[in-house]
Amino acid sequence: QKEVEQNSGPLSVPEGAIASLNCTYSDRVSQSFFWYRQYSGKSPELIMSIYSNGDKEDGRFTAQLNKASQYVSLLIRDSQPSDSATYLCAANSRYNFNKFYFGSGTKLNVKP
Amino acid sequence: EAGVAQSPRYKIIEKRQSVAFWCNPISGHATLYWYQQILGQGPKLLIQFQNNGVVDDSQLPKDRFSAERLKGVDSTLKIQPAKLEDSAVYLCASSQGSSWGRNGSSYNEQFFGPGTRLTVL
């Protein structure tokens, strides 16, 4: 099992809907998780970090961490076409806190 | 606060040629990373520096790739000789190291530079 796994998508949602992106992780990662947004041809941009079990909200974005089930989610409310991008899930290594594992990314398409 | 700087942004070379990339991390960030990202995949760690020491270079193809961070600040990544399969985006990132949140948990955030798109013909 890879350390961090994501469905590659594409995930298509209509404008204004809620987009739900999911990520599962293995025992080799620690309890710090990150969501990056990557537009085509651009580098990853950190949009959310979550370290505690439960929900963390920032504007239209909500990150959810469920340690018991070993998954982390990103919800995007009121999705906009400008949200169309690839979303990367990342986590710190349990054994090297400065090492990050990345998923392969989920491509999100928000249709007007 | 200035972000991670990289140059060049684009590079086209022929196979067997050499190429070098430069990165300047966010001021005060002790940890610097070089990643390779192939289209449709997540970033793959090539090398991780802590100050000027190498922490992890297990996935660096050492027969052709080299990297250094001599003064613990900026870094260079070199490929010599390049192969067709080296065509990718090379991302530099940096992190401050462990920090402590309000609930007592530690965390560490990583920030990326704009990347260098390498095409090997």
Token pair belonging to B11: 């590079």
A103 touching chain B per CB within 8 A: yes
Distances from the Cα of A30 to the Cα of A26, B82, B94, angstroms: 9, 36, 19
With contacts defined as CB-CB under 8 Å, which chain A residues touch B56?
96, 99
Q: How confident is the model at residue B99 (pLDDT cuts 50, 70, 90)?
A: low
Q: What is the pLDDT along chain A (112 residues), one digit of tens a residue?
A: 889 999 888 999 999 999 999 999 998 888 789 999 999 999 999 999 998 899 999 999 999 999 999 999 999 999 999 999 999 999 988 888 888 999 999 999 999 9
- Taking 60 as the threshold, does the pLDDT of residue B102 lie above it? no
Q: A57 by DSSP, 3-state: which?
A: strand
A1-12 burial code (b ≥16 CB/10 A, e <16): eebbbbeeeebe
Mutate: best of B107, B109, B112, B118, partner A, most A CBs <10 A: B107
Q: Do the chains contact at B109 and A49, CB–CB below 8 Å?
A: yes
**Alpha-carbon span B75 to A75, nearest angstrom:** 36
pLDDT tens digits for B44-56? 999 999 988 999 9
Average pLDDT, chain B: 91
What local confidence, expressed as pLDDT, does residue A94 receive?
Answer: 84
B53 touching chain A per CB within 8 A: no
**Alpha-carbon span B90 to B88, nearest angstrom:** 6
| CA-derived radius of gyration, chain A | 13
